Structure 1
Amino acid sequence: LLTQPAFFAVNKNVDQKNDAWALDKNSFVSNGAFKLSEWKKNDIIEAEKSDFYWDKDKVKLEKISMLILTNEVELNMFELGELDIAGSPFSTITVDSLEKVKKDKNFHIKPYFGTSFLRVNTQKIKDLNFRKDLNFSFDREKITEHILQGGQLSSSRLIPVEKNINVPIIKKDYSQREITLTYVNNDRTHILAQALQRDLKNNLNLDLKLLAVERKIYYEKLSKLDYELAISSWIADFDDPIDFLNVFKYKDSSTNNTGWENEEYINLLEKSEEILDLKKRDKILKEAEDILLTEAPIVPIYHLTQNFLKKENLEDVFIYPSGFIDFKYAYFE
């Protein structure tokens, strides 16, 4: 946990003098392998090797240029040899591009410690049986393999595992109901929403209305519980199940946004904080996850991945499951 950016050292004098120091290249101070040398908003960020870094002799790159581009321009520039790396974790390769990009020898898939799920507003959808049925209403494997195509792992669990976990599809008749699915308006969530719409109609005879909104409006709706179902995701800050489970610990927390709370669930999470035996702790957290999935304020869909293109001669770029990228040891052959 202490290795996360939130705990990185900050220059005390700079921070006390100017609380907006991090927003201007002229006042920005860092202590890593590279230092900020150029920052043109919505255009380019450049970092140069720092002569003051304690381990500077192991840093091979002299400069890193990060361009702010549209997805289409980014891929075109990579194909033309004008970029050395494209895609995650800086940007997203669109679903429309994946079929072609996956054939490129420079294409890579890395795990991402995150999960995509349906968030359920339990204040509006109070029928527990219906919430449970949602879990068995769509084909996760078809969604990951044939629609998203980015190596995602289909799963009915919240905490990421390194295998597909699918459940049987059921047939029910909810023709008397109509539910609205809210999601951020982008290509990946839109095709996912369409796939869910088809499956819920075919398997539950449920009419699912789609509501695509801008990101700001989406989060406003979540915080106000102004939705019924929403396509959501969570990417953990550190590699531990508790960072997923704590999201739904209290119904009034800013991360929950389902209106759901369970006393036994809370007690298990608090109990896990007192257990040093890792196997016993994992068992407690598994019990908590089971409660969450049984109560169904969320319905997991798949575990995330990072898709990116990297030139063959660019070596030792480390991309971690948390979404961080490290260029300290990077070099060109």
Structure 2
Amino acid sequence: MKKGIALATCLSLLLGGVLAGCSNSSQSSSPASSTSAPAAQTEEKKTEPMVLHWSINSEPPSMDPGIAVDADSFDMIYAAFEGLTNYDLNGQLTNATAESFTNNDTFTQFTFKIRKDAKWNNGDPVTANDFVYAIKRNLDPKTASEYAYQLYYIKGGEEFNTGKGKAEDIGVKALDDYTVQFDLKAPTPFFRELTFFPTLFPLHQKTVEGNPNWAAEAKTIVSNGPFNMESWEHKSKIVFTKSPTYWDKDNVKLDRLEIVMIDDNNTAFSMFENGEVDWGGYPASTLPADAIQSIKDQGKLMVADNPGTQSVVFNTTKPPFNNKKIRQAFSYAINRQEIIDNILQTGVPAAYGWVPTSMGLKPDGYFKEDAEGAKQLLAEGMKELGLTTFPEVTYTFDTTDVNKKVAEALQDQWKKVLGVQVKLYTAELKVYRDMRSQANFDMIRFQWGADFNDPINFLEMFRDKTGGNNHPDWENPKFKELIDKSYQESDLEKRKQILLEAETILMDEMPLAPINFRGSPYVKNDKVKDFIIYPLGGAYFKFTSVVQ
């Protein structure tokens, strides 16, 4: 970006089987002739299709970029769709469907030129109007996009989404068929990075408006990415094939991508060991906790270090977790290092704040474990609520071996420190997501991975009680004021201090208890080359090859 302002990103790449490190760079506004590494100059003639065998945990709820909220859906969407920007093999945010961009000096206006060779898989050109349509459609309250708030940086976006404004006042417009302009409500230096997120992807208007269920079946999905969905056997298997209409098809190596849905991670790992899939662990699945030490001893364990935080979310709308002191007590009673050493086994840092340390607000955190303090806070909180005995509460988590072990450890720690017996409830993934979004829980596991590399992405979700990812249903007037103030502050150091004050309130009120920052272990088939784990998490198959 202009004026040398760069947001640090760290991209995990498998180049010839080597895990590469981080790369920070400023983004140029000059046109790029290609967004990817050049195709190999010489390549042996293929005798059979190149196929990657992959797994995911569950049936993707939606292939609609404006509706999807889960990791499995996002990975499938990134295979089939493409936004204005993406990441290349050098770990840089680069132009994708856009061939160039410019921004003004105050970072309140960004203009993108669309490639004239970008096409939908039905042959229609991808135009600026496809982006304008998608933005306005995703902001429409009727669409009920949980990530609509990602579009609030655009002028008039929040007003339209909350029923206080009009669609025609949203600050996105097509200057011509191949130029889209965004007018932002405040300085947003990271906006170009945000265009990588699916909520800002283009949509084929005729398809979306012609069939409400267009994103639920392979044959009705019109997409613009490197792969086309060939078949979708629900709850079983998805097959993608290389798209012949994709503008950069010469750099797509795979002919087919075959993805099986395996909800049991032990089964998924067994399939990897048997050679039925080419990847074990993140981002395909979760490695079984009992397998990690053995893989580590063999020198094959890799860990994707993407910014993210695992936590316990409290339902702040009902007793007992409507009381701040009780929430603090449960947080201070957690022995984080014990969970990391005995269960996660990946060396990830304990989390004493919500925003990852890589984003630099307060690396030392805001609190520490305190067993005696936790007991006192619990007693004070119960007194404030008029409780003589602690009520029955349940901790809900989704079904993976690691999550189960973490839940059991939390249950044991709360019993030992607080004398509280917590029930555990394991929910199938779809049920778990529904319970979380509907606040149908006492406590629930929640892991958040960055959508873009800025602290605001971890904080603004708690700005409003009704926010799509505000699972605690927590709201604080001062916190909201600070978030709004940060939107208007163009001085980066002053903005950092505003966000630091906001996180300080969040960690004092403790609507959620951070446990650890994310580090996701995996193991792979050595034949798999050039697979990208996105800087902020997730899978990208465009450059992947399987070398025989």
Q: What TM-score results when the alignment is normalised by the length of structure 2?
A: 0.56
- How many angstroms apart in 1 are the aligned matches of 2:250 and 2:441? 54
Does the 8 Å contact 1:115/1:160 carry over to 2? Answer: yes
3-state SS of paired residue (2:543): coil
Pick which of 50-59 and 265-274 moved more. 50-59
- How many angstroms apart in 1 are the aligned matches of 2:260 and 2:281? 12
Confirm or deny that 1:37 pairs with 2:234. Answer: no
Does the 8 Å contact 1:236/1:244 carry over to 2? Answer: yes
Instruction: Report deviation, 1:158.
Output: 0.6
Runs of 4+ in 1 over 6 A off after TM superposition: none
Pick which of 177-186 and 260-269 moved more. 177-186
Question: Which residue of structure 1 lines up, in the alignment, with residue 342 of structure 2?
Answer: 146
Does the 8 Å contact 1:89/1:324 carry over to 2? Answer: yes
Q: Quick one: which of 429, 450, 472 aligns to 1:258?
A: 472
Q: 1:191 to 1:276 in 2, by over 3 A?
A: same
Question: Which residue of structure 1 lines up, in the alignment, with residue 252 of structure 2?
Answer: 59
- How many angstroms apart in 2 are the aligned matches of 1:322 and 1:116? 14
- How many angstroms apart in 1 are the aligned matches of 2:336 and 2:533? 26
Question: Which residue of structure 2 lines up, in the alignment, with residue 124 of structure 1?
Answer: 319
3-state SS of paired residue (2:305): strand
Confirm or deny that 1:328 pairs with 2:542. Answer: yes
Q: How many residue pairs were aligned?
A: 333
Q: Quick one: which of 70, 91, 96 aligns to 2:290?
A: 96
Confirm or deny that 1:205 pairs with 2:205. Answer: no
Q: Which stretches in structure 2 are left out of the alignment for 5+ residues?
A: 1-193, 380-388
- How many angstroms apart in 2 are the aligned matches of 1:304 and 1:73? 23
Q: Return the letter of the residue paired with 1:322.
A: L
Confirm or deny that 1:87 pairs with 2:281. Answer: yes
Does the 8 Å contact 2:450/2:537 carry over to 1? Answer: no
Confirm or deny that 1:160 pairs with 2:374. Answer: no
Confirm or deny that 1:306 pairs with 2:515. Answer: no
Confirm or deny that 1:267 pairs with 2:462. Answer: no
Does the 8 Å contact 1:178/1:207 carry over to 2? Answer: no
Q: Quick one: which of 499, 512, 515 aligns to 1:285?
A: 499
Q: Which stretches in structure 1 are left out of the alignment for 5+ residues?
A: none
What CA deviation, in whole Å up to 9, does each residue of 1:152-203 have, x standing for no partner?
Answer: 3311111112578682433236585355132125233322222122222322
Q: Percent identity, aligned pairs only?
A: 31
Q: Return the letter of the residue paired with 1:124.
A: P
- How many angstroms apart in 2 are the aligned matches of 1:239 and 1:302? 18
The higher relative CO (CA closer than 8 Å, separation ≥ 6) is in 1
- How many angstroms apart in 2 are the aligned matches of 1:32 and 1:148? 35
Does the 8 Å contact 1:116/1:303 carry over to 2? Answer: yes
Q: 1:33 to 1:221 in 2, by over 3 A?
A: closer
Pick which of 155-164 and 193-202 moved more. 155-164
3-state SS of paired residue (1:86): strand
Does the 8 Å contact 1:183/1:189 carry over to 2? Answer: no
Q: What TM-score results when the alignment is normalised by the length of structure 1?
A: 0.88
Q: 1:167 to 1:24 in 2, by over 3 A?
A: same
Confirm or deny that 1:108 pairs with 2:302. Answer: yes
Q: Return the letter of the residue paired with 2:368.
A: V
3-state SS of paired residue (2:356): coil
Q: Return the letter of the residue paired with 1:209.
A: K
What CA deviation, in whole Å up to 9, does each residue of 1:226-272 have, x standing for no partner?
Answer: 54333323233322222221222222334324343211100000001
- How many angstroms apart in 2 are the aligned matches of 1:73 and 1:124? 39
Q: Return the letter of the residue paired with 1:284.
A: I
Pick which of 125-134 and 162-171 moved more. 162-171
3-state SS of paired residue (1:26): helix
3-state SS of paired residue (2:306): strand
Instruction: Report deviation, 1:318.
Output: 0.7
How well do the aligned residues superpose, as a CA RMSD in angstroms?
2.7
What CA deviation, in whole Å up to 9, does each residue of 1:201-244 have, x standing for no partner?
Answer: 32233333334444555455555655433332323332222222
Instruction: Report deviation, 1:88.
Output: 1.9
Question: Which residue of structure 1 lines up, in the alignment, with residue 208 of structure 2?
Answer: 15
- How many angstroms apart in 2 are the aligned matches of 1:160 and 1:282? 14
| Pair member with larger Rg | 2
- How many angstroms apart in 1 are the aligned matches of 2:504 and 2:513? 12
